Chains A and B, each alone.
Chain A
């Protein structure tokens, strides 16, 4: 699995397009974190995860690299979880760099334009980074799941469709005045895409509350489903 993580890091950090995009996104995030509450400044993290994780399996499969790797004595799950850990490692590195840039901005901004922003605190920055990382763990698991059976970058599109669909069901229930549909839609949404108040959890509140459990369950379920699908998948190219 280590070899797979290393390969993923080489692929992503070896791509000038991804490094440039992450650099720009990181700079914007760092400025926002320095100028406002750093705990809530990492909302753009989802874009960074999408950049890093999109097509992580499907593009290997369509390019043929996967077949060469899987001909080696390596379990498919080792490959798959290597990709997942690779995504989180790259994103963790990105967050580390952004945190460093944020601190730099906090030091530089007063020197350039005035007093240090009052809202900034190192602890809030750490909580923001941790929240972004935890949200990325679920998002990356979902993208990985879709990438095991969809082509190209369709995993990102599937995530958007999933978001929209899960949001639409309760609205549809409400519009039709069918509480059962509304309730079922809410239950689906809170189980498939649980919204955890990580800020509270990281402050030591509601650590073992229902949303945290749902988050653990969702991450586990998406990873297990990805492993099951990927282990059973066939890899063909051409039909000579």
Chain B
């Protein structure tokens, strides 16, 4: 669906040049959700802007469904939420969404109904929609931003920090909308620093550092990333739990939150660990597994 070939991009001129991207190559399959991960200044937003056709690579090529990123046929299938939300603050939420509905090619007669539906999907009350955007909180603006990106159910979604500045409920709303888009087969590129959210919604992540792609890691499907299991037991039973886990073939480590950390390769491994603790008569207060993106992020190889 998205093919990026050896893309480089430099900002500035006359001796003050910054290499924002250097030899980036990647593919995003139809229906895949790709997460872009990297520290500030890694080139994630630059890559996203290149994918949207707002920036032209100095070298290399980007094709989306075989077309240039700024082709109107691509745009007609695209939903975009920028990190910096550039709203017409004098508009009401309803007028803003209606405007984007029409710009996206939606029938003007259906604008009212679709705007109400889009607002409901991101948890905005009808009465809020009648207020000017200048009076919205950051979290509400994020929701409007997500709502406009999802208008007309786009096949392609480019989301730049979609849950930044939102409360836990807002984060959940954004997550649900992304999962909903993924379920209907949309191809999604997500740039976010919220690693737990990235892990929950993405099929694959790529790590960027100093403009280079340093690592690509599958989170779902074939050969997923190594996972981390966390098991929380009563503090006075931790030694007993560690012994039971070692007997079962695990190498538990004490984590900072008083739980035990295990390297596991699948959810089944975690179930086996819980079973071992149950057989040793150790109560399990909590057991969870994650892809350990934070660890991967910290250990991501330098370019």
Chain A residues near B (Cβ < 8 Å): 3, 7, 10-11, 14-15, 60, 63-75, 234-240
Contact = CB atoms under 8 A, between A and B. Distances in A.
A238 B40 CA distance: 10
Nearest to B74: A73
A72 B105 CA distance: 8
Contacts, number: 94
A70 B95 CA distance: 18
Contact of B40 (A3, A65, A69, A240): A240
Interface in B7-31: 11, 18, 20
B102 interface: yes
Contacts of A70: 54
9 contacts: A10-B95, A15-B90, A60-B86, A63-B86, A64-B82, A64-B86, A72-B78, A72-B105, A240-B40
Contacts of B56: 234
Given A3-B103, A63-B86, 12 more contacts: A10-B88, A10-B90, A10-B91, A10-B95, A64-B84, A65-B88, A68-B100, A71-B75, A71-B78, A235-B55, A236-B46, A238-B84
A68 to B, nearest CB: 6
Interface in B179-221: 191
A29 B268 CA distance: 81
B103 A69 contact: yes
Contact of B85 (A7, A64, A234, A240): A64
B42 A240 contact: yes
Chain B: number of interface residues, binned into ranges: 35 or more
A36 B73 CA distance: 56
B19 to A, nearest CB: 11
Interface string B62-99: 00000000001101101110111111101100010001
B41 to A, nearest CB: 6
B49 A240 contact: no
Contact of A239 (B18, B99, B148): B18
Q: B56, B90, B99, B103 — which one has the most chain A CB atoms within 10 A of its CB?
A: B103
- Rank and list the top 3 A-B pairs by shortest CB-CB distance, nearest first: A64-B86, A65-B86, A71-B80
B104 interface: yes
B83 A73 contact: no
Given A73-B105, A74-B103, A239 B76 contact: no
B52 interface: yes
Contacts of A74: 72, 75, 103
Interface of B: 11, 18, 20, 40-46, 49, 52, 54-56, 72-73, 75-76, 78-80, 82-88, 90-91, 95, 99-100, 102-105, 148, 158, 191
Q: A11, A70, A72, A234 — which one has the most chain B CB atoms within 10 A of its CB?
A: A72
A3 B42 CA distance: 37
A10 to B, nearest CB: 7
Given A14-B90, A70-B54, A7 B75 contact: no
A74 B83 CA distance: 21
A66 B100 CA distance: 12
Contacts of B86: 60, 63-68
A69 B96 CA distance: 11
Contact of B41 (A10, A235, A239): A239
A69 to B, nearest CB: 6
A238 B42 CA distance: 11
Nearest to A60: B86
Contacts of A240: 40-46, 83, 191
Contacts of A236: 11, 46, 49, 54-55
A239 B43 contact: yes
A69 B102 CA distance: 11
A235 B84 CA distance: 13
Q: B11, B49, B73, B79 — which one has the most chain A CB atoms within 10 A of its CB?
A: B49
